Amino acid sequence: MSNLLVTPTRIPEVLVLEPKVFGDERGWFYESFNAAQFLAATGIQAEFVQDNQSFSKKNTLRGLHYQVEKTQGKLVRVTAGAVFDVAVDLRQSSAHFGKWVGAELSAQNHRQMWIPAGFAHGFFVLSDAAEFLYKTTDYYYPQGERCLAWNDPTVGVVWPIPEGIEPTMNAKDLTGFAWNQAPKF
């Protein structure tokens, strides 16, 4: 019996994972990662080599990031707050090339998202602040890092940004590649 519910998204290789949460009057407990259960539930043999964590304030948008060398699969989750998490398929051989999926991940819903190598990834902070954690299948390689424009009209990500709000972003994310200029896989 698996303690992990796996739901494919519109892009079947991107998965939403929901661990079984055990709770009582003291609080709750869950396994945030178990290699054997991850493999059994997803069929994905992933070796994670690096864990990353970020803290972001409300209305921060990070992404859409990817690496063209030392590509990374990512298992992402939120430990405080809530984000809208997005993956964009950059694999030219995919039936979902150029498509995107998004899901709300929060400390409350305990959801995680598996994003395979070959995808751009980003998130928008919905709560006052959010702590975002992710495991990667390869090491950070700054020379290979690229950024797809978060608001590229060809991709058409529908971000849940409130009307009248300009997302807080760094210079790199503000100058991401347009879809027709972005390196693909």
Which residues are annotated as catalytic? Answer: 65, 134
Distance CA 32, CA 107 (A): 12
Which residues neighbour 174 within 8 Å (Cβ) at sequence distance 6 or greater?
Answer: none
> Which tokens is 114 given?
């598996």
DSSP letter for 10, please: S
- Long-range CB contacts (< 8 A, 24+ apart) of 158-165? 158/102, 159/61, 159/84, 159/86, 159/124, 160/84, 160/124, 160/126, 161/59, 161/61, 161/124, 162/59, 165/59
Of 82, 85, 74, nearest to 110 by C-alpha is 82
Task: Judge contact between 124 and 161, C-beta under 8 A.
Answer: yes
